[in-house]
Amino acid sequence: MAEGDSGEAAGSQVDGPVLRMVGVVQEYRDGGRVIRALDGIDLTVAAGEMVAVTGRSGSGKSTLLNLAGGLEEPTAGRIWVDGEAVDAMTRTGRAELRRRRVGFVFQSLNLVPSLTASENVALPLEFDRVGPKPARTAARQALERIGASELADRFPDQLSGGERQRVAIARAVVGRRRLVLADEPTGALDEMTGRQVLRLLADLADGGAAVVLVTHDVELAAAADRVIRLRDGAVDQITERPSAPASVAELLR
Amino acid sequence: MHTEYVIRGALLALLNDRAKYGYQLKSEFEASTGSAWALNIGQVYSTLKRMERDGVVLGLGQDEEGRPRYQLTAEGREELAGWLSAAVERSVSSRDEVTMKVLMAAATGAGDPTLCIAVQREVSMQTLQTATVARDTATSLADRLHLERLIVSCTAELRWLDIAEEALAGGRTPAPGEVGDTTTTTLRTEDLHG
């Protein structure tokens, strides 16, 4: 949690955390029944941090990600992205926030097949009425940032699964978006390719992005600085990576 | 004496190409297994003596610098081939301490088994986090493979902790009309054995 400052003050600071959730509750109606998917979540993710959210299916992981990205509106609680209060936004406001500040990476490799990698990466900017030239430049920069410049002119069907996911990650950070939300981003990939994608997300965090990774796989989650385990919609356990790096000899006895 | 057996196998392998003296074997052992396992030179020579007695190596006497050298015999070559080609049988100890703590807490009510699980989960996750970073920056094949094994065993432990937690949660829900949970907990303990 942010250090001791009041919600409003911290929420409105641009230098503050990239993502901040306070007391977030999400309920769904299932006929006459109310299902509480999230039950009072507090979460702060700073720039430069990668946080993994784990838990069984139904623990609320994906709901948390949808709320952080403004895809859903919370039943209660407050959410800020880059200092902007998402919970107070209209549907249109949230859509704009998503375009401008949030990058999504999903398990399904949803690239547009008729566009090149570079055009796919530029797509969010074009929706945002950025001119074609600056959009193209930004797309090249995003691909370069993740070391995928060589893929720029290829079409999705000319890319391997791992390459497609790299393009999807470039698209998530195009135009300097600082919040990257990844939902089982390695689910469709083999183990080694999955690890590379994970490392790429960790590099994005090292480069100043705030990355939230949702995964059921504890081994992948361990790549994060902080692992948050959800259970029945609430935070069950938080594990921070020990700050002192252990030597191989210390780890292997 | 499993460790001794592994050292013996490794020394046979290191002597495969030519005769060597103790320090040479020690440093080659450490180079090929990574920084994880430092051998004691006394242990190297005592193992070599035993191997000489068993006829798998032959002492060549001291070289010009006074270092006793050893070479592989035909029997040694045979033992080496056997060691490398034999599969290692794995078994899970029924005396595993984590398993015992959880079972004892559940069976006796002396502690909260879910707390045992939470504490262990935190440590295993931290080891996993640290090992993941170390693996990604490992400079030798030996270190990397040692760390991959550590990662796999941490992952397995975390998985077991989840399974145990779920089994216990099932056990703590009292049956309709039931007051205490002693009976169900006992039942669950048996389930965990099964």
Encode pLDDT of A18-70 as tens digits. Answer: 999 999 999 999 888 999 999 999 999 999 999 999 998 889 999 999 999 99
DSSP for residue A215: -
CA distance A135 to A123: 8
Band (pLDDT 50/70/90 cuts) for residue B192 is very low
Q: What's the rounded mean pLDDT across residues B171-186?
A: 42
Which residues in chain A have their CB less than 8 angstroms from residue B121's CB? 229, 237, 239
Report pLDDT for A14. Answer: 54
Nearest to A227 among B125, B136, B162 (CB): B125
CA distance B23 to B63: 13
Per-residue pLDDT for B184 more than 60? Answer: no
The two structure tokens encoding residue A192: 């080694």
Per-residue pLDDT for A155 more than 90? Answer: yes
Report pLDDT for A110. Answer: 80
Mean of the per-residue pLDDT values for chain B?
Answer: 85
Which residues in chain B have their CB less than 8 angstroms from residue A240's CB? 126
Closest residue of chain B to A250, computed from CA coordinates: B36
DSSP for residue A235: E
Encode pLDDT of B4-27 as tens digits. Answer: 899 999 999 999 999 999 999 999
Report pLDDT for A30. Answer: 87
CA distance B140 to B149: 14
3-state helix vs strand vs coil in chain A, percent to 5: 35, 25, 40
Which residues in chain B have their CB less than 8 angstroms from residue A224's CB? 129
CB-CB under 8 Å, A239 with B35: no
Considering only A196-200, B148-152, B161-165, B186-190, which range has the smallest mean pLDDT?
B186-190
Q: What's the rounded mean pLDDT across residues B146-163?
A: 94
Nearest to A223 among B132, B155, B162 (CB): B132
Q: Which comes out higher in pLDDT, residue A211 or B89?
A: A211
Chain A interface, Cβ < 8 Å to B: 56, 199, 218-219, 221-224, 227, 229, 237, 239-242, 245-249, 251-252
Q: Which comes out higher in pLDDT, residue A38 or A125?
A: A38
CB-CB under 8 Å, B126 with A248: no
Report pLDDT for B170. Answer: 83
Closest CA to A79 of A95, A65, A59: A65
CB-CB under 8 Å, A249 with B36: yes
Classify the C-alpha dihedral A198-A200-A204-A206 as positive or negative. positive
Per-residue pLDDT for A137 more than 80? Answer: yes
CA distance B11 to B92: 28
Report pLDDT for A229. Answer: 96
